[in-house]
Amino acid sequence: MAVASAIVRLRLADLDALDAIFALPGAVGLIERRQGRHPYKAIWVNHEPLE
């Protein structure tokens, strides 16, 4: 069994900013192509800044 992990840190002001990222042309297609080659599941974590 192999387990891989990656963390993507997005510093966004609010959920509207997050929605705007996924509304960019090609964003959903990029994710779908990546998942097609390397099946994965994602989780979202929201927390206060660590600084």
Q: Please report the pLDDT score of residue 18 as a whole number.
A: 85
Q: Residue 18 in contact with residue 10, Cβ under 8 Å? A: yes
pLDDT of res. 50: 67
Please tell me whether the overall predicted TM-score, pTM, comes out greater than 0.85 for this model: no
Winning range, highest mean pLDDT, from 2-6, 12-16, 34-38: 12-16
